[in-house]
Each structure stands twice: as structure tokens, then as C-alpha cells.
Structure 1
Amino acid sequence: MGAFAGAGWLLLPVTTAGGDAPVPASPAGPVASAAAPHQDGTSTPDLVLPLVAVGAAGVLAGYGYVRRTRRARTRTTPGVVPAAPPAATPLEAERQARAALVLADDCVRGSEEELSFVRELFGEKRTEPFNRALLAARTELSAAFAIWRRYEAGVPGDAGAGRQALVGVIGRCAEAGRRLDAEAAELDRLRGLEQDTGEALEVAERRFRELTARTAAAQHTAAGLREWYALSAGAAVAGHVEQAKDRLLFATSRLNEARQAADAGDPARAVRQLRAAEGGVFQAGVLVGGVERLAAELAEAAALVPAALTGGEAEIAEARKNGGRTSLATGELHGRLAHADGVLAAVRAELTRGPYDPLDALRRVARAVERLEVGRSGAVTAAALLVARGQVGVAEDFVAVHRGAVGAEARAVLAEAVRVLEPEGGGRADEADRLAGQARDLAERDVRAHGSPWAEAAGQAVGLPGAVLGGILLTEEAEAGPPVSFGGPGTRGRRRLPEPAGPTEPAPGGPRAGTD
């Protein structure tokens, strides 16, 4: 622009040279002896400003060129600043993915706990938006677990695809949490606990009373299982009644404190204690329901065992008759037929010796027949489904009431068991049974390794260790932290007590913020 301005300045006299105005003729007279100096429209002062403009333009252009050259030399890749943080290592990315899976699964399970109480008070129609959000979060979480399982199996062959898989896991988990976070405020407005906790307390207390009666009945049921069946039959629910009582004791103390806080005009503390009590009541229901469900499944399995044995014998006879139609070699088929005959004979012997485990008997029959690869009769198929559903339910209950200690591996295996049991996943009952058993073993290992870091607080707060182990309370404060609420990572711990006003320290021996 400076160069153009200077050139225009220099050309201005040329463009105006032919446009001089006419002058009147001079009278005749003597001609001057010397001609006047020639005026061509320019002078030395007229050239100063254009030359200065051209020079400034050149300086600016040179400075810009040098600056661009230096910037290009200091870059490592086009458009990337060298100070950018380095990408996460594969181990760090895996750690982040595991943490994201655990957090998302906890958010889904905790949201279901509170939503069950909201649904009971307000009905299905008014809670439909929250049901949809929870279903969407479960769908995202299931996809994240599926991606993780493929990653663990080494399906992404190269390192780049593996990194993308981990990014996908973290992204799906974040989306699950976002779906729940988006509805948390609306659920709080629907409940209106800050204004009145009366109706919500009545719902929690009613369920507490019902569970107290069911827990007493479940104790008799668990004792009956040990009398009617083999010891292995009731092993899956060993300790459930005691844990349910512990959760109910925790709920009792929190319900009492919620009532006291509501009467004292402290809504924040009342809501906090109510949510903790609801979590304890819900998990007590899971534990008692596990005992009741197992008793029903064992009775159903005992009635199904004779039909399964008959169906198994028919499948063995079919395999002997049409053995050439299978993909097995002759020697291998004969070996499997002998094994199946032995399994069925052993089960028949157990029926005559006394108490036995009906579910385990059905499992052995179904697996022995499956190895023949000739298809199944209706009774054997029904037996396999009953066993798989029971095993998946046992693993689900264990993770639900110990989620404060269970890691990502057990949860991922359990999610795979749920997926393959559904018709969309192939309805593979044997595979689901095997995976659910593996998930239960992994979860028990995690709980043993985790221990109970809050055990020393058992004398200060009733049921506190069990509530922390069950994920009812978040370990974020000195006294175990806020209760879990409906929501994702950003909102599930929102039931915190307000900070005390001012910087003053509490008096020695006085209460601290966060103590319940």
C-alpha cells in the first residue's frame, strides 16, 4: 500500500500536465534575454513523502518475512505448537479407560437406586424422561464394555487402532454420564426435597418396614436351603441376610437423623441423610431378593431335573444314531458320548442319595449334552437358560452391593455375560453361565484385595463400612462423604453439606462439617 501511494504521488503531475488553464496573451514587447526556469510540476520536497512511504513498506515486508521464517523453523509439525502436552502412553490410556468404565457403571447403578424411589412416589408417566436417560446411559455403557472386551481380546491389530478403541471407551462412558447429568436437576425439581421431605421419607420408611419383615423370612429361607439341598446350593447367598441387616441398621440411623434434621429446619442435612437411607434400603432389598430368587430357582430346577435327564438321554441316543452328521471325529465322539453317559448316571445317583444341588445338576447335564453338537431338546435348553439366568443374577447382586471395591475387569465380564444371554447376543446360555461365574470370581477377588478401610469407623457410625463398600457413600470427605444421587460424574455427589460460614475453626470437640 505504501508503494502504491508513492507511485501515485509521483505520477500525479504527469496525469495533470495537459490540463493547465489558458492565460491571457502578453503585450508585445522586448523579449527577455534569458528564459525563466522551467517548471515541470515536481520538486525535491515533493519527492520526500513518497520515498518515505516506499521505504516503510519495504521495512514492514522484510520484518514479516523474517517472522514467518522463524515461526516455520520452530514448528515440529504444521500448525502444532511444540509446547503441547504429550499423548498418553498406552498404559495410562488403559488406566483411564478402566477408571471411566467403573465410574460410568457406578453412576448407572446409583441412578437406578434413587430412581426406584422416585418412580414409586410419582409413577411411570412422570418419571419417563429419567427412565429414558437411564436406558440411554445403559446403552452407551454396554457399548463401552463391548469395545473394551474387544480391545482386551486384541481385536484392534495395530497400536493406532488400539488407541482409538480406548478413546471410544472413554467417550462412550462420558456420554453415559452426560445423559444422566442432563436430567439430574429436573429430577431434583420433581422431588422437591429441599422444600419438603415428608412424602419421600414416608416412601423410604414404608419400604424399610416391608424389608424388615422380608429379611426375617429370608433368614428362615436360607436356613431351609441348607436343610433341603446340598451346602453348595446356598453358597451363592451365604451372608446375604447378615449384610441385609447391616444395610437396614444403616438405613435406620439415617432415617432417624433425616427426621430430626427436617424437624430442626435443616433441609440440606435432611436430604443428605434421606438419600443415604434410600441407598441402604435399596441394597438390603437386593440382598434379600437374592435369597428369595435362589430359593425359587432351586425349586424350579429340582422339578426340571427329571425332564432334563430324559432329554439328555434322547440327545445321546441321537448322537449315537447319527454320529456321522457331526463335525467330530469318530474317536472324539465316542469319548464325549461316554462322558455324557457318566454325567447322567452320576446325576441319577445323586437323586437317590439325599440332598443335592439341582442347579449344579442341570448345569452338568446341559454342558455334557452341548459337547455332543447334535442340538438340544426343549427340556435341556430350558435347564441351560435357568442356570444361566441364576448365575447372572448372583453376579449382578454381588457387584451391586460391593461396587465400592469391584474393578473394571469383573464388570466388563459381567456385561458380556448379560449381552450373550439376551436374544440379540445369540442367547448362548452356556457362555453366559461361564462368564457370569468368572465375573463373580473376579469381583470376590477385588473385594478381598480391597478390604474395608473404614472398618475403624464402625463404632462411630452404624453400618458405615458396608455403606462405603456398597458405594452408597462416596469416600470424598472425612466421614465417608455424600450419598450417591441420580446423575453422572458431575452431579451424583451433589448432596454435600454447605461449607461453614467464615474462616473460623470449630471449637475443640465440636462438630465438623460433613459429620453425619
Structure 2
Amino acid sequence: MTINAEVPVAAARGGPVAVAGGHGRQDAEGGASGADLVLPLVAVGGVGVLAGYGYVRRTRRARTRTTPGVVSPQPPVTPLPVLERQAGAALVQADDCLRTSREELAFVEARFGTDAGAVEPFVRALRKAERELSAAFAIRLRYDQGVPGEDAARRHALAGIVGRCAEAGRRLDTEAPAFDQLRALEQELDSSLGIAETRFRELAGRAGGVDATLADLNTRYPLATATSAVTGYVEQAKDRLVFATTHLNQARQAADLDDTGTAIRDLRAAEGAIGQADVFLNDVDRLANSLPAAAELVPAALTGAEAELARATTEPAPGRLHTRLAHAHATLAAVREELTGDSPYDPLDALRRIVRAVLPLGAGRDGVLGAAAWLVGRSDVGAADGFVATHRGAVGTAARTRLAEAELLLATDPAAADVPALEAREAAEQDVRVHGNPYDGRAGDRTSGVGGAVLGGILLGEEPDGGPPLCFGGPATRKRRGLPPP
């Protein structure tokens, strides 16, 4: 990828060269002074010097002018911060395209069931696009860590990010026409509406049960940090379902009037909201499984960590290791006190602190401590991913890059995945606070769910009603279900 930073300049104009010269001094009687009677050779030499000086000045001016006509031989270089913003925008857009494409593909899979052959080309396209995006995020992570260090190499790295993201989008764009042909919404609209309505009813019925589950978690684990990751999630799921209700009804009405384009637009908006409601409810259920599992694992993990600490204490300890041992002793003692005391505690946080205490000692990657690391990492990565998925209209590059790092570590080194996962969630929450939601202040948006749909990236927020809804595809095709121009 090349960035054209050439700046046009004006051509030097022809014409006589202006020569600066002094008037000859006149004597008291008006005659010519001796200073005017210079030898011709000397005069010609002076004119040559002045002409050369004028030429140099004109050449320098021509190289720095911006008038169209001549290309500067040394164009200005695009500043790194500008290239960084371009690369960041490419990462966000590619990540959004992949997430939307996965969500719509789930509805196609629900329709075709066990007929894997029908959806396999699109599954492959998604996997290839995911690999490109994963490579782009890896480059960005190294870039944020200062690698490479030279400006020229950093520019190449940013160009590589943009190129990888473009390739991910191209793969999805290429498959979009075949995907639409498989879905055949123009001919099979009623069937697709039926699938969406079935999923909607399942989630609407499930929301009450998940609400009760969350209430039970708050009772069993009253410490606020234990359930803070899913606070408000049932309400947000209901908000997405309200939005889905509105658009499913509008889709049915448009279909009855043979307004197929509008019906498909409303269907896609409803499908996006249904998918995100499912994410919210799943996140609560995952936490409901993780907290009891962590509570059961804490005593064994604590005993295992104390054994590792005792082993490390018997070995010679240099100054830095001595500090780590002291910190580990204090951490494990605090967890032991929480475990045996009467005050409520957060089991996942207790496991997290245990694993972090022994990691600097070379432990925590196998046995009971490895199981604890896996449980904590999986919970934190899942929570961060769910938040990004349901708030992606506001989440920027930093949070997504850290999440990509956490997902990679979860597969290769679960004990190390917890830190970038928590950082990703924190950065995403900060993005949402800074971004706000312009649709929440409009009349009717709080009851129709449009604000949540824009925040969730279901709608792009480019029109008064929040549309268009996004579809399977890359940057060139994902908005194809919008209303036609007037």
C-alpha cells in the first residue's frame, strides 16, 4: 500500500532577471563620478553573480510552492499520528465486519441445519478473514510496544496493518453476493422471518430466568466485584429485544405490502438485536457457572500455591526474587483470611490473585494452578469479548488490540491471558463513557431501543432512524440493505 504524499508546486516563470544596482554618484556639477566608469568585464561579472543568485532563489521557491504544475522532488511525509489513526480505523472496521458477518451467518446455519456444505464456503471465508485480522492486530500490538523503532519501519508496519485489514474485508466482500444468493431473502423472506421470530421468543422467555439467576448470584456473592462484569446486562438484553420486536413487526407489515426491500432492512436490524440479546444473557449464564466453579477451586489452588511458595522459600533468593516472595506471602495470607473469615469474597478474584502471586516464581501453568489460570482467563476473556461485541459502535482500537492479545494467550498461555483481558474491558468501558450515545436523548429512542442498537453497532447511526443495518460482508458490501437513495 502506497500513500501519495506528493505536493504539486508552481513552475518558475520565465522573463528577465531583475538586477539590483546602485545609481552612479554625480559630482557637484552633475557629471559622472569615477565610480561609474567601471571596466566592462567587472560589470558583466557582477551581473552574472546577481543572475545566479536570483536563479538559486527562484529554484528554492519553486521547490516549496504548492501551486499545481510541478511535483516537489521532496514531498512532505504524512505524520505518524495520522497513519496511526488510519490503521486504527481499518482495524475497527475490519473487526466490525467480522462480528456482523458471524452474527448473520448464525441465522443461515439455523435455516440450513446439518447441511454443512451450503454454509462451508462462508465459514472458510470468515476463517481466512480472521487470520488476516489476527495478523493485523499482532502487528499493532508490537507497534504499541515500540517495535519496530525506526520511523520508516513503523510506517511500513502501519501500511501492513491497513493492507491486512483490506484483505480481510475483500474476502468477505467477495463472498457477499453468493451469501445473498444462499439466503435468498427476496424469495424466502417468510422463512427467515420465522427463524428470527422463533429465536426472539426463546430469548424473551429466557430473560426472566436469567434475571432470577443474576439475583441469586448477588445473594450468594454479595461483594460487588463478583457480579460487576454483568451488572445491567439483563436490562440491556431486554432493550435489544424491544428493538427487535419493533423491527420484526415492521418487517411483517412491509412483507404483507410486498415492500420486500424495507422488510429485509427491518429483518436484518432485528436479527442484529436478537444476536446481541443472546450475548448479554449468555454472559450472565457464564458467570453463574464460573463463580461456583471458582469457589470450589479456591481452597485447592491456595494449598497448591502455598506449597510452591514453601519450595521457593527454601532456595537461595536474590534481591528481586526476595521481593516477589514477600509479595506472594502477603497475597496468599490475605486470600486465606478471606476464605476462612465470615466476610463475603469474590471467588474469581481470589483465584486471579493466587495465580498472579505464583507466576513470577515459575508456577501456575499446570496442575490445580493451571486449572485455576484457565478458569480465570476464560471468564475474563469472555467478559471482555461480550462487552466489545455489544458496544462496538463506541469501542476503539486499544481495547480491541488488547482483546486480540488476550484471546491468543488464552490458547497458548492461559495464565497470562487475564491481564490483557481486564485491560481490554477497562479500555472498552472508557471508550463507551467518552463516546456517549447521541440517540439516547431523542424522543422515543429510549423506548424503541434505537440508542442501544447504534451503540451496539447493529445500526451505523448514519440516518435519523439509526440505519442502515449491517450485513455479512466487508466494507464495500456491509451496508447494502440500506434504503435506496431518494
TM-score (norm 1): 0.77
Counterpart for residue 512 of structure 1: none
Change (3 A) 1:189 1:432: same
Whether 2:384 is the aligned partner of 1:391: answer: no
Does the residue aligned with 1:472 lie in a helix, a strand or coil?
coil
- Deviation >6 Å, runs of 4+: none
* Greater Cα offset, 199-208 or 458-467: 458-467
1:263 maps onto 2:291 in alignment: no
Rounded to whole Å, the distance in 1 between the matches of 2:143 and 2:326 is 39
Structure 2 vs 1, CA of residues 86 and 180 (structure 1 numbering), >3 Å: closer, same or farther?
Answer: farther
Kept in 1, the 8 Å contact 2:365–2:415? The answer is no
Question: Secondary structure of the equivalent of 2:463?
Answer: coil
**Equivalent of 1:380, from 353, 361, 369?**
369
Distance 1:311 1:103 in 2: 45
State whether residues 315 and 375 of structure 1, in contact with CA within 8 Å, keep that contact through their aligned partners in structure 2.
no
- Pick from 420, 426, 433 the counterpart of residue 435 of structure 1: 420
Point out where structure 1 has 5 or more consecutive residues left out of the alignment.
1-73, 501-516
Alignment-derived partner of residue 91 in structure 1: 81
Question: Structure 1 residues 376 and 185 mapped into 2: Cα distance closer, same or farther (>3 Å)?
Answer: closer
Matches within 5 A, 1:461-472: 462-472=448-458
Q: How does 1:102-501 map to 2 (within 5 A)?
A: 102-123=92-113, 124-229=116-221, 230-321=223-314, 323-324=315-316, 328-329=317-318, 331-352=319-340, 353-373=342-362, 378-423=367-412, 427=413, 429-459=414-444, 462-500=448-486
**Preserved CA contact (<8 Å) 2:471 2:481:** yes
- Structure with higher Rg: it is 1
Q: 1:376 to 1:251 in 2, by over 3 A?
A: closer
What RMSD, in angstroms, separates the aligned Cα atoms of the two structures? 2.0
Deviation at 1:373, TM superposition (A): 2.9
2:360 aligned partner, one-letter code: R
Per-residue deviation at 1:376? 5.3
Deviations 1:206-241 (A, max 9, x none): 111111122111101111111101221000000100
Query: Alpha-carbon deviation of 1:196?
Result: 2.8
User: Is the Cα contact below 8 Å between 1:312 and 1:377 reproduced in 2?
Assistant: no
| Distance in 2 separating the partners of 1:216 and 1:104 | 35
**Identity, % of aligned positions:** 57
Which amino acid counterpart does residue 394 of structure 2 have in structure 1? A
For 1:32-68, what per-residue CA distance to the aligned partner results, in whole angstroms no more than 9, with x for missing partners? xxxxxxxxxxxxxxxxxxxxxxxxxxxxxxxxxxxxx
2-structure distance, mates of 1:167, 1:204: 40
Structure 2 gaps, min length 5: 1-61
Contact 1:311 1:377 in 2 (8 A): no
Matched to 1:487, the amino acid is G
**1:157 positional shift:** 2.1
Alignment CA distance shift 1:377-1:271 (3 Å):
closer
Shift of 1:86: 5.8
The size of the alignment, in residue pairs, is: 415
Q: State whether residues 319 and 374 of structure 1, in contact with CA within 8 Å, keep that contact through their aligned partners in structure 2.
A: no
**For 1:197, what is the secondary structure of its paired residue?**
helix
Shift of 1:401: 0.5
Counterpart CA distance in 2 for 1:236 and 1:114 is 26
1:332: Cα distance to partner? 4.0
Which amino acid is the alignment partner of residue 329 of structure 2?
D
